[in-house]
Amino acid sequence: MVSPRLASRTWSIEGMVDVVTARRCGLKTALSLGFSTPEATKIAVVISELGRNILLYAERGLITVSPHSDTLPYIEIIAQDHGPGIEDVERVLAGGYTTSGGLGKGVSGSRRLMDEFEIETAVGEGTKIRAVKRLYRRR
Amino acid sequence: MFMDDDFTDDAMSGVASTIQKLEDLLLVTVPRDLMDDQVLSLRREVVKHIRLYNSLWVLLDFSQVDICDSYFGRFIQSMANMVRLTGARVIISGLQDAVIETMVELGMTLPDVRAVLDLDEALAMSRTNGKVDADTSETELAELSFLDSSTFDFFEV
Ligand SMILES: Nc1ncnc2c1ncn2[C@@H]1O[C@H](COP(=O)(O)OP(=O)(O)O)[C@@H](O)[C@H]1O
Ligand SMILES: [Mg+2]
């Protein structure tokens, strides 16, 4: 079944309310695209983690959620900001590293929850994270 | 007038979090999209109500929660730690399967499965174990031991 054309959406992230709105919409979008509840939940949690990071470390930024209802449907999340950037990406991806007294599981955990996960970051310039989850897993 | 059952309304989703007394148990219904400032006030209210009712057990009901990120996981943990410090015991209920699965993949350690109970089970447990001293009943308890020991501090979420 091909789902009706789902629109890509971008949220300006400036407060927790925006994060909540984005993750709720992401959950719905994922469900409409055909993701199961657990898989859609993971997508929503990733939006939440990346959104919180934007608030916490960059103050503001953008999150775009794009559903692709092609023959191999997938959902793409792009989180970008012009904040301080990440100095040690490897350490952040390894998990357990935090500069804010958090758990340090947001980025590393999000990578596990998604099928593709890329970080583009430069100190003093900002951060762009692209994450993809496919409806059908590659075997 | 003192309101027992109403504590706060979640403006976003219209879902209220409530604190209710049920025998020796304090039932805390955690709202769906808890805002950071609500986290602090909810924790304060819970402790206040434990004192008020001398509650021996606190049931944290997460059945309304469908999106649980690592901050929320930390909230669950800090809430449980704080309840324990009052001398009451923690039971959690209503964690949805999708939420549990996501938390595990995120890298949060989940509590013993016995933590996941419904209200009837929680009440039965508090009736059976409520008056027993902490040592003997501890093994029966839904131990909420999220994460590592380093995180067993007080969190200001
Ligand atoms: N958008 C961002 N801009 C700058 N630094 C970031 C950003 N996102 C994450 N970081 C850095 O990566 C670390 C780990 O992030 P994360 O895994 O989400 O854990 P936590 O937020 O709990 O610290 C953060 O403490 C922060 O130093
Ligand atoms: Mg984070």
Structure tokens at A103: 């758990």
Nearest CA in chain B to A38: B98
- Residues from chain B that touch A17, judged by Cβ atoms under 8 A, are 12, 35
Q: What is the mean pLDDT of residues A6-15?
A: 95
Q: Would you write out chain B's pLDDT as a tens digit for each of its 157 residues? A: 333 344 444 444 434 568 999 989 999 999 999 887 888 889 899 999 999 999 999 998 989 999 999 998 888 888 888 888 898 888 888 889 999 899 999 998 755 434 655 778 778 877 887 554 444 333 333 343 333 333 333 333 3
The C-alpha angle with vertex B155 and arms to B150 and B156, in degrees rounded to 5, equals 150
Task: Report all structural domains of chain A as residue ranges with CATH numbers, in order of start.
Answer: 4-134 (3.30.565.10)
Q: What is the pLDDT of residue B1?
A: 33
**Cβ-Cβ contacts under 8 Å, A42 against chain B:** 101-102, 105
Selected residue with higher pLDDT from A128 and B134:
A128
Across the interface, of B69, B71, B105, the residue whose CB is closest to A112 is B105
- Domains in chain B: ranges and CATH: 15-151 (3.30.750.24)
Whole-model pTM: value is 0.85
Rounded to the nearest 10 degrees, the angle between the axes of helix B70-85 and helix B36-53 is: 20
Q: What is the rounded average pLDDT for all residues in chain A?
A: 94
3-state DSSP assignment of residue A138: coil
State which residues have CB under 5 angstroms from ligand 2, the bound ion: A 53, 106
Q: Nearest residue of A to residue B107 by CA position?
A: A109
Q: Which amino acid is at A139?
A: R
User: CB–CB of A94/A87 below 8 Å?
Assistant: no
C-alpha to C-alpha distance for A7 and A9, rounded to whole angstroms: 6
pLDDT at residue A138 is higher than 50: yes
Pick from A20, A24, A109: CB nearest B70: A109
With a CB-CB cutoff of 8 Å, which residues 52-81 of chain B face chain A? 66-71, 73-74
Q: Give the DSSP letter string of chain B.
A: ---SS--EE-TTT-PEEEEEEETTEEEEE--SS--HHHHHHHHHHHHHHHHHHT-SEEEEE-TT-----HHHHHHHHHHHHHHHHTT-EEEEE---HHHHHHHHHHTPPPPPGGG---HHHHHHHHHHHTTS-HHHHGGGS-----S-GGG-S----
A-chain residues within 8 Å CB-CB of B70? 49, 102-103, 105-106, 109
**Better-predicted residue by pLDDT, B120 or A21:** A21
Residue labelled with tokens 């596990």: A112
Write down the ipTM of this complex: 0.90
State the DSSP code for A47.
Answer: H
Distance CA A43, CA A40 (A): 5
Which of A19, A52, A98 to mutate for ligand 1's pocket (most ligand atoms within 8 Å of CB)?
A98
